């Protein structure tokens, strides 16, 4: 079987056992690097989603606070009118 290394093709049957094992290890490490890069990309996406979620939650809390203040102010006005 032919294998491509540094843009050159080699006959794998001419490799000794150590070279074959080294190629397998490099291949495995490259797969791990690719998986880690995919994990990093997924983490970036999750961070973006969480940031958007927290921003939305903060805006909702501000709205609730404003509504609460309006209700308190409204209740004070009703109480003052009754006097």
Per-residue confidence (pLDDT) for residue 73, from 0 to 100: 82
Contact of 32 with 40, CB cutoff 8 Å: no
- Classify residue 13 by its DSSP letter: G
Contact of 52 with 46, CB cutoff 8 Å: no
Residue the block writes with tokens 């797969």: 31
Per-residue confidence (pLDDT) for residue 28, from 0 to 100: 96
- In tens, the pLDDT along 12-66 reads 889 999 999 999 999 999 999 999 999 999 999 999 999 999 999 999 999 999 9
Query: Which is more confident, 77 or 7?
Result: 7
Query: Which is more confident, 10 or 46?
Result: 46
Rounded CA gap, 46 and 40, in Å?
10
Per-residue confidence (pLDDT) for residue 80, from 0 to 100: 61
């Amino acid at each position: 079987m032919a294998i491509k290394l540094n843009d050159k093709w080699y006959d794998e049957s001419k490799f000794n056992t150590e070279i074959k094992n080294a190629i397998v290890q490099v291949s495995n490490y490259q797969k791990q690097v690719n998986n880690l890069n995919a994990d990093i990309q997924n983490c970036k996406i999750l961070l973006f989603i969480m940031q958007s979620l927290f921003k939305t939650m903060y805006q909702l809390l501000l709205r609730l606070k404003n509504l609460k203040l309006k209700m308190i102010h409204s209740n004070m006005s009703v109480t003052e009118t009754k006097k």
